[in-house]
């Protein structure tokens, strides 16, 4: 059973939570709870977090392009015919 030691403090907490939910109802409507199966970041609630999300996406794109380029170079090195292997100059 939940025991409340200070009923005034508990009531103040409920009032502040209700006022926050009314103040940010448009923002909180679009936010979704994070789950284990999410492949990307949670929806941002502030402009700073939105910029951090854009930075994450941009960095991930650059890292993906570098990984594909290195993979292509390794693939071409492994399957090269070495036609000019004995060229001395």
pLDDT tens column, 40-54: 788 788 889 899 999
The answer to whether 27 and 45 have CB atoms below 8 angstroms apart is yes
For the chain, domain boundaries: 49-81
d(CA 22, CA 26): 9
The answer to whether 66 and 59 have CB atoms below 8 angstroms apart is no
Task: Give residue 18's pLDDT.
Answer: 59
Q: Which structure tokens are listed for 13?
A: 């907490």
Q: What is the dihedral of CA 52, 58, 62, 64, to 10 degrees?
A: 90
Task: Give residue 1's pLDDT.
Answer: 47
- Name the CA radius of gyration of the chain, rounded: 27
Task: Give residue 70's pLDDT.
Answer: 98
**Ranges of the chain with pLDDT below 70:** 1-32, 89
**Burial class for 70, CB neighbours closer than 10 Å (0-12, 13-18, 19+):** exposed
């Amino acid at each position: 059973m939940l025991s409340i030691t200070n009923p005034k403090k508990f009531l103040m907490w409920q009032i502040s939570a209700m006022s926050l939910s009314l103040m940010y109802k448009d923002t909180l409507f679009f936010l979704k709870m994070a789950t284990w199966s999410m492949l990307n970041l949670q929806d941002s609630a502030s402009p700073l977090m939105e910029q951090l999300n854009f930075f994450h996406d941009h960095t991930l794109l650059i890292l993906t392009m570098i990984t594909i380029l290195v993979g292509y170079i390794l693939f071409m090195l492994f399957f090269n015919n070495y036609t000019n292997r004995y060229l001395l100059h």
